[in-house]
Structure 1
Amino acid sequence: MDILKILTKKYNKAILFLLEKYGTLHYSAIKKSLNNVHDHLLTKALDELVEAGLIKRELENPNIRPSRVLYSLTDLGKMALNIYSIAKKIEDSRIKVIGNNNIIINNVSSSNINIKK
């Protein structure tokens, strides 16, 4: 399983950040936080994250049917979030946009680069 590929998917990344911020969440809370994403997309993203070991899935009370499902970060999931933080710091230190069409990468200046916002 390619962890980097999993981490770059839109909903996967959002789910990891939600669980980091709020801790353990029910399926419905995750869905609501993601602006009511379609069930099949959310289920696919959650299953992928569970399979990769980035989050864990638990039943709130397995003796009651239907049982509510809880999701939380694993230690591996917390490490994955550190990857985002480190990558952001590297990117912020490498690239500086000056004006509308000038960019500096690693202290090498280049002009007339179109930057789409």
Structure 2
Amino acid sequence: MKYKVDGKEYPCCTSLTMKYIGGKWKSVILIHLKDTTLRYSELRKMIPTVSERTLSLQLKQLEEDGLIKREVIPTEKPPLKVEYSMTDFGRTLTPLLEMISSWGEEAVKWDSKVEEIEE
């Protein structure tokens, strides 16, 4: 079975899943949002190696895909307060994200090239 989203074809369910969470940062962003609502600056602190531009683009894509929601909260003074949280659709990924994280913990044990470093 093939699938089509926004004019782009996906040959299988795996490739469709990767459309949503593929890339270096989407799953990292989602794992941070799985249990909480965070502001952009909080996400930026949690993922210091991602550039601001990339984080903004990934958040926008996740929002367009319906996995997260962006809520603008009016404030008396600029800048506006913007919060991100997972949608119900996004929360369906929680078991998968937790499995990916667990697999990463196992990979550390198996792959001699993986080196644990202190923050």
Relative to the length of structure 1, the TM-score reads 0.65
- Residue equivalent to 1:46: 59
Matching of residue 13 in structure 1 with residue 27 in structure 2: yes
**Deviates most, 24-33 or 54-63:** 54-63
8 A Cα contact 1:3 1:52, kept in partner: no
Equivalent pairs, count: 95
Alignment of 1:19-38 (within 5 A): 19-21=33-35, 23-38=36-51
User: Greater CA radius of gyration, 1 or 2?
Assistant: 1
8 A Cα contact 1:61 1:68, kept in partner: yes
Q: In 2, distance between residues paired with 1:28 and 1:87?
A: 25
Relative to structure 1, the CA distance from residue 63 to residue 3 in structure 2 (aligned partners, 3 Å threshold; closer, same or farther) is farther
Letter in 1 for 2:28: A
Q: Which runs of 5+ in 1 are unaligned?
A: 92-99, 101-114
Residue 70 of structure 1: SS of its match in structure 2? Answer: strand
The one of 80, 90, 102 aligned to 1:67: 80
8 A Cα contact 2:39 2:82, kept in partner: yes
Q: In 1, distance between residues paired with 2:42 and 2:92?
A: 23
Letter in 1 for 2:73: E
Letter in 1 for 2:29: I
Letter in 2 for 1:51: E
Could you list the runs of 4 or more consecutive aligned residues of structure 1 that deviate by over 4 angstroms after TM superposition?
Answer: 85-89
Residue 41 of structure 1: SS of its match in structure 2? Answer: helix
* Percent identical residues: 31
Letter in 1 for 2:52: D
Q: CA RMSD in A?
A: 3.0
